[in-house]
Structures are given as structure tokens and as C-alpha cells.
């Protein structure tokens, strides 16, 4: 056998062998391959959806950060009504019974999810209520987005003063500033009795475009709600 003949025969043999193997493999595998391909496609679709969902989450998060509302919120009302206690309860979830005077202003920050997935960053300005701070108070009001107007449910005098507080807020922070009217120290009503007319408080708040909420910094009741409600009102007033 010449070298040339050998090569042709060998190549031919290889070709037949390859074709046969290929055909057999094709027959066996084509169904399985199809299934495998389908599975791969399903995995890819699933992963893509996951990525899309994940991307959606990121986009939502970035959007909420970008458009995140940074709001200056005032805590106002007479001395010792519980402004500092309310903000301490809200931010640190604690209560201190001993009274410490707020000198000038304390500023604390907290993120509030006022609706599912919607976050606002509050910088809460806890303003000293004493007469002697009156001259600097007005400067703290500038740029405020909203206010909690607080009185003490056990001291009628602090309730009577709220109109004056509201006038002051509106004068320095703007006529249409959203606020929430807060009767604090609700836990003491049982012992002390009610010294104000609830219906009157409610209708005063409603007449002024607000709502009336009774809170207790001591038990924590309605404290989160007060801040969340104020945040909602601020955001809604801007829509
Ligand atoms: P601020 O001057 O308005 O900041 O009032 P503070 O937060 O300093 O509170 C004045 C006093 O009232 C403190 O002795 C607090 O412990 C007390 N206090 C504040 N909130 C409450 C409350 O909801 N219930 C009770 N029982 N005491 C409170
Ligand atoms: Mg204080």
C-alpha cells in the first residue's frame, strides 16, 4: 500500500467514524440538549429578573436618597411641657424624669419612613421655651418646614399660651407652615384629671388646618405618630 493510499483510507475511516459518532451523539443528546438549553434560558431569565428587581431597588433607593426630603422641624411650646422629652423618646427611645433646661436650641437628626419606602430626614430643632430666649428664638425659626406645637395636658396655662406660640411660628417661619398640635403628658391625666377641653383643642387644631394628638414622652404613646404625621403633612403640603 502506497503512502498516499494509506492516508486516504485513514482519513476516510476517520470521517466515517466521526460522522457516525456525531449522528449517534446527536440522536441521544438532542432532546437532553434542548432540555438543558431550556433550563439555562430559564435560569438566565430568572437571574435577569432578579437583576432587574435588584436594579429597581437600587434605583428606588438612589431616587429616595436624591429626592430625600431634608426637613427642618421645630419643637415649640412653653417651658417644661416635654419638648426635649418627646425628641429624646423619638430618637433614643428613652425618658428622663429629672428636668434639664434646654439652653437656646438643641438639634437632633432622624430618618423617618413617613410612608412605605419614602424617607425624610428630619433635623429637629428643640427650642428653649423660656422667656429669656425669646430674642434668639426667631432666628431659629427661619427655613423651618414644620412644627410640633406642644402644651402640657396637666397645666392649663401652657394650653392657653399656644395661640401666642402659633403666631410666633407663623410670623417667623411662614404663614402656611404645617404643624401638629400636641397635648403631652397623657400618662398623667389619670392622676391629675383633665384640665383642658379636648373638643376645644381638637377644633382649635382643625380650624388652624392641623390635627390634635395626645402624647406621652414617658410611655412613648403616639410619639412616633406625632413626628410621622407632621412629616406627612409637610410633604403633602409641597405636592
Ligand atoms: P421642655 O422644657 O419642654 O423641653 O420639657 P422637658 O422635656 O425638659 O420636660 C419637663 C419635665 O416634664 C421633665 O421633668 C420631664 O421628665 C417631664 N415630662 C416630659 N414629658 C413627660 C410625659 O409625657 N409624662 C410625664 N409624666 N412627664 C413628662
Ligand atoms: Mg427642653
pTM of the model: 0.73
- Helix or strand or coil: residue 181? strand
- Residue 4 Cα distances to 8, 17, 40, 140, 212, angstroms: 6, 20, 47, 102, 105
- Parallel, antiparallel, or unpaired for β 105-115 and 212-214? unpaired
Q: What is the pLDDT of residues 53-111, one digit of tens each?
A: 666 666 655 655 555 678 999 999 999 999 999 999 999 988 887 767 776 678 899 99
What is the mean predicted confidence (pLDDT) over 28-32? 62
pLDDT of residue 16: 56
- Closest atom, ligand 1, to C-alpha of 79: 2
Ligand 1 center from residue 149 Cα (angstroms): 14
Q: Quick one: DSSP state of residue 166? A: H
| Model pLDDT, residue 208 | 96
Does the beta carbon of 191 lie inside 6 Å of ligand 1?
Answer: no
The pLDDT of residue 63: 54
Residue 195 C-alpha from the chain's centroid: 35
What pLDDT, on the 0 to 100 scale, is given for residue 116?
A: 87
Residue whose CA is closest, atom 2 of ligand 1? Answer: 80
Tell me: pLDDT of 201 over 90.
yes
Among 27-31, 39-43, 87-91, 136-140, the range with the most confident prediction by mean pLDDT is 87-91
Ligand 1 pocket member 129 (CB < 6 A): yes
- Give the Å distance between the CA of 100 and the centre of ligand 2: 7
In ligand 1, which atom is closest to the CA atom of 186? 23
Q: Which of 36-40, 44-48, 162-166, 205-209 has the lowest mean pLDDT?
A: 44-48
Strand, coil or helix: 88: helix
Ligand 1 pocket residue status of 66, Cβ below 6 Å: no
Identify the residue with better confidence: 154 or 10: 154
Under DSSP, the state recorded for 206 is H
Which residue did the predictor score with more confidence, 147 or 41?
147
Identify which of 40-49, 59-68, 107-116, 208-217 has the greatest average pLDDT.
208-217
Q: Please, what CATH class does the domain formed by 69-237 belong to?
A: alpha beta
Classify burial at 179, counting beta carbons within 10 Å of its beta carbon; exposed 0-12, middle 13-18, buried 19 or more: buried
Mean of the per-residue pLDDT values of the chain: 83
Q: Which residue has the higher pLDDT, 14 or 169?
A: 169
Q: In the chain, what are the domain boundaries? A: 3-66, 69-237
Task: Between 48 and 105, name the one with better pLDDT.
Answer: 105
Taking residues 114-143, what's their average pLDDT? 81
**Ligand 1 centroid – CA 98 distance (Å):** 8
Residue with the bigger pLDDT between 218 and 2: it is 218
Q: Ligand nearest 90 Cα, by number?
A: 1
Q: Which ligand is nearest to the CA of 88?
A: 1
At CA 185, angle to CA 182 and CA 136, rounded to 5?
A: 55
What is the number of the ligand closest to the CA of 102? 2
Instruction: Determine phi and psi for 18, rounding to 5 degrees.
Output: -65, -45
3-state secondary structure of 105: strand
List CB-based neighbours of ion ligand 2 within 5 Å.
Answer: 83-84, 102
State the pLDDT at residue 239.
73
Higher pLDDT, 16 or 118: 118
pLDDT value at position 44?
A: 73
Task: Take atom 13 of ligand 1 and give the residue whose Cα is closest.
Answer: 99
d(CA 13, CA 110) in angstroms, rounded, equals 80
Amino acid at each position: 500500500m502506497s503512502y498516499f493510499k494509506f492516508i486516504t483510507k485513514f482519513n476516510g475511516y476517520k470521517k466515517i467514524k466521526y460522522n457516525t459518532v456525531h449522528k449517534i451523539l446527536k440522536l441521544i443528546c438532542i432532546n437532553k440538549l434542548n432540555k438543558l438549553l431550556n433550563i439555562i434560558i430559564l435560569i438566565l431569565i430568572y437571574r435577569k429578573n432578579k437583576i432587574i428587581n435588584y436594579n429597581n431597588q437600587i434605583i428606588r433607593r438612589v431616587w429616595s436618597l436624591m429626592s430625600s426630603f431634608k426637613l427642618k422641624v421645630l419643637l415649640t411650646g412653653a417651658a417644661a411641657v416635654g419638648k426635649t422629652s418627646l425628641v429624646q423618646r423619638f430618637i433614643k427611645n428613652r425618658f428622663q424624669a429629672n428636668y434639664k433646661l434646654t439652653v437656646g436650641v438643641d438639634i437632633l437628626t432622624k430618618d423617618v419612613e413617613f410612608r412605605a419606602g419614602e424617607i425624610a430626614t428630619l433635623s429637629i430643632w428643640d427650642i428653649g421655651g423660656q422667656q429669656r430666649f425669646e430674642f434668639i428664638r426667631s432666628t431659629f425659626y427661619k427655613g423651618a418646614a414644620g412644627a410640633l406645637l406642644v402644651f402640657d395636658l396637666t397645666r392649663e396655662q401652657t394650653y392657653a399660651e399656644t395661640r401666642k406660640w402659633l403666631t410666633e411660628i407663623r410670623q417667623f417661619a411662614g404663614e402656611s407652615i404645617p404643624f401638629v398640635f400636641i397635648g403631652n403628658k397623657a400618662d398623667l391625666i389619670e392622676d391629675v384629671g383633665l384640665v383642658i377641653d379636648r373638643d376645644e383643642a381638637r377644633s382649635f387644631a382643625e380650624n388652624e388646618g392641623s390635627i390634635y394628638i395626645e402624647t406621652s414622652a414617658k410611655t412613648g404613646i403616639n410619639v412616633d405618630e406625632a413626628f410621622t404625621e407632621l412629616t406627612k403633612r409637610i410633604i403633602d403640603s409641597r405636592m
